A and B are shown apart, each in its own frame.
Chain A
Amino acid sequence: MKEDLHRQEFEGRAVESRCGSPGALERRDFLKKAGIWTGGILMGGALAALAGCTEPKAPLVRTSGPSSSPAPVAGAPDLAAATGADPGETARRAVDALGGMGRFVKAGDMVVVKPNASFMDGPEAATSTNPAVVSQVVTMCREAGASRVVVLEHCLRGSADACLSGNGIGEAVTRAGGEMLAFDAGNRGNGVQAAVRSGVALKTVSVYPEVLQADVVITVPRAKHHGSAGLSLGMKNFIGVMTDMSSIHNFGLHQGIADLNSLVRPALSVVDASVILLDNGPGGPGTTHAANTIIASGDVVAADSYTCGLFGRLPQEIEYVSLGNRAGLGEMDLNKLRIARV
């Protein structure tokens, strides 16, 4: 008895098999196990892919931005400067003076709004656009029948979450029915490579695809001092649609801004000059001045040119404004413009 068991065991574990030959069992066993493990590994891979562990896809190449231009309205001014203590309400009056948002946004349009939401301080610091102005613009777009209003920003300081909760723009946009799309240095997102056809220094640039897909682009900057550019206004605001913002300095800042504006042509510029930062820009803290003004214009160069006056400066002093004027992106000479002050 003991010997029997002994021998049986020493013939190897295959004695447990119910199959014929041990060889067949080994092969089948192996194939079965290999199959199970292969399946498991593939499933793991699929799960990992679902979880977003995969590499981003190669970017598309686009060559043109939005091309819609505002519908001509007889007698409408080229630029409206509204004054008032309530920035949101003042912004609405400025746009209404141009003939209303319906002139720029058609029903079903996809709109990209580019505010300055790069800094963490609230509106009194005059470093980011007043959230009331941003939400008012979003609301007006929705009223005009926009299908989507995407508010796009590449935040400068720390994480996008920290910036948007600090300056209050994130919540304001969501409440007004817009979609906040914010990036930061840690999450630069995926851009598309766009060719700048009339670019002098900037020939190609990686931008967020939304600005190229949009029917209408609206720039909503905060007017403020800027250490290197002189003033930060509506044209300069578009640096934030680049995935690699810093790289613009390799092309020369002013020419880069002008070239970028030839790619992303805004239909409307709404400049927040409710409170302006006079020095130590763009991040502050610096001297602020309550100018209580919102400037709106379908001409981004004109709006910037007018805003220079609030700082006591000539548009010729701000190189990117004159470069934009020379490139035919807009009119810098205020004498040639019909201006409505409301």
Chain B
Amino acid sequence: MKSGGSRRGRRLFRSVRWAVRLGFLAFFVLLVFRAAYPPLETPSANLMLRFDPLAGIYSMIASRSLDTLGAFWPAWILLGLTLVSSRFFCGWICPLGTCFDIAGSIKPRVLKYYQPKGKAMKALLAREKSGVTPRRVRIKYFILAAVLALGLVGVNLLYFASPLVIMNRSLYLLFLPQVPVLLLILLLLAFVYRPRFWCDDLCPMGALMSLVSMAGKRLGASASPLSVVKDPGACIECGACYRACDFGVPEPYLKQDAGRLRSADCTACAECVAACPSADALALESIGVSILTSKGARRHPAYEKSHPAASIPGSGEGDPDSKLTVSRGEFIGSLGLGAVLLAGYGLGVREVSGPVLRMPGAQDEASFLAECNRCAECMRACPVECLRPMGLEDGLGKLWTPRFEPRTAGCIYEQCDQACARVCPVNAIERQKPEDVKIGLAHVSKQTCLGWKGKPCLVCQERCRFNAIENNGLKPVVVEDKCTGCGACEQTCPTEPTSIAIFRTGETPSWPQGGSGGSRRRSGG
């Protein structure tokens, strides 16, 4: 056991952990910042989004193909490391988790979180020890099952469920600038209720990593990159570790045998090690080398007797938290919850209007809605900002999906080299050859068009770089074969509302009746 025995060592360790977390958060923010056109290539601007193993698995389920298998390589590396250690991503890397920790750390001590003390704490610890404490219902496993099950029927819940998607989109909304409501609600709950309530109780990505790390521990993987180990001989059973754990894991306190903690929810954040008052009772290890050991002020006499040479024996069996957390009952319950969620979601996604305009190369509407995580990366990358997040006007099902709004800006796909498709972390958008692009078709409103009223204009013809507008005298006429639906005409039409507009191929154009400033699409076009 080398460093970290002192108070100074623990302070240094906590600073290092903050530095690591804030560093990853800063890296994440930087990547979102640099997703703006031209999007960063190395490292790819969507790199952090591809750290999400849940999104990777979901994407393969939703698309029923292995197309994204290679793209999600960071997630598979992460899962591999998780298998041999713990949910370390949550304690060290996750940008959303770091935001929760910040919310927790700025909370004034006068408003501090509820923590049982004294007798209440002793009673709680005694209950944990006797094993009769009813475990909190592990909602996150239900959510995980529901997210994956709903993927089979093409309903994407990741936009509410993946911490990385939530962070990415929230940052984009800040750039817009709009208020990232979901993130603020979560931060508020973290501030008021418990910093890591989301991670411990709700996060399906965390649930996936919990399952994987638990599986790895049951397999008995030996060389762990990051794990907390316990030596029960030195434990004074004070419960400081239990109180220090953001995730409420009782294992450092309860574990009776020496070796790695096997709890599914341990993030190897080592707060328990830093809080432990007994020398060498707990330690954070990386491949057999201890990074941090518990306070070296005193050693329990029993430890000196039983451990003439400091060594940690191999792990044993029979500690309560390492048992499979999802029972058969819970699994059946998760399926039921999935059904309830699906029914509720089905009510929310009722199609108010038909398909909307998307970017070139977008999958057909049903596949697009199934695969799009609403991470907002495409909208961030669009050089002309012609993609805008949808609101609730078409129901919950299309919330935050990118809609092509040609009145805002026409698409310049052959000039930006389809930046949206390049940054999409999943398969919602495919690269297309410029000559194959057909976003929609322009239609002219003959009642409002200046040219059709006999006035000289033809801005649409001037603007059309595909020469898809011919003039019959002063009247513009769209050539269907040449029109790509890029929307340069709609963007620049001088009338208000526009007299030329892009509609989906085959869609019957509908024009608003009079009024000024009314957007055609808001009125359900």
Contact = CB atoms under 8 A, between A and B. Distances in A.
Interface of A: 1-2, 5-6, 8-10, 12-13, 16, 25-26, 29-30, 33-34, 37, 51, 53, 118, 120, 156-159, 161-162, 185-186, 227-229, 245-250, 252-254, 282-285
Which of A2, A26, A29, A118 has the most CB atoms of chain B within a 10 A radius of its CB?
A2
Secondary structure call for the A interface: helix
A186 B409 contact: yes
A9 B457 contact: no
B238 A249 contact: no
Nearest to A44: B29
Given A5-B278, A30-B109, A252-B455, 18 more contacts: A1-B298, A2-B237, A5-B298, A9-B239, A9-B240, A10-B238, A26-B108, A30-B110, A37-B102, A51-B33, A53-B175, A185-B492, A246-B459, A246-B492, A249-B455, A253-B456, A283-B464, A284-B467
B29 to A, nearest CB: 9
A227 B461 contact: yes
Closest 9 A/B residue pairs (Cβ): A186-B384, A228-B456, A26-B109, A157-B465, A246-B494, A228-B458, A249-B494, A227-B458, A249-B457
Contact of B277 (A8, A37, A156, A161): A8
A8 B33 CA distance: 47
Contacts of A161: 415
A19 to B, nearest CB: 13
A288 to B, nearest CB: 15
A246 B106 contact: no
Contacts of A159: 383-384, 412, 415-416
A164 to B, nearest CB: 12
A283 B494 contact: no
A250 B494 contact: yes
Contact of A285 (B7, B277, B467): B467
11 contacts: A5-B277, A6-B238, A10-B239, A13-B275, A37-B106, A156-B463, A157-B465, A227-B461, A228-B457, A249-B459, A283-B465
A30 B474 CA distance: 71
Which of A9, A37, A248 has the most CB atoms of chain B within a 10 A radius of its CB?
A9
B236 A6 contact: yes
A242 to B, nearest CB: 11
B505 interface: no
B483 interface: no
Interface residues of B, number: 53
A157 B456 CA distance: 20
B462 A282 contact: yes
B106 A158 contact: no
B451 interface: yes
A1 B409 contact: no
A284 B236 CA distance: 87
A337 to B, nearest CB: 27
Contacts of A285: 467
Given A1-B301, A285-B467, A253 B457 contact: yes
Interface of B: 7, 33, 102, 105-106, 108-110, 117-118, 121, 175, 236-240, 275, 277-278, 298, 300-301, 383-385, 409-410, 412, 414-416, 450-451, 455-459, 461-465, 467, 471, 474, 488, 491-495
A13 B236 CA distance: 17
B7 A185 contact: no
Contacts of A12: 117
Contacts of A253: 455-457
Contact of A185 (B240, B488, B494): B488
A186 B238 CA distance: 65
B270 to A, nearest CB: 16
A186 B109 contact: no
A39 B495 CA distance: 48
A278 B407 CA distance: 32
B492 A228 contact: no
A118 B458 CA distance: 15
Contacts of A252: 455
Contacts of A248: 494
Contacts of B414: 158
Contacts of B175: 53
Contacts of A2: 236-238, 300
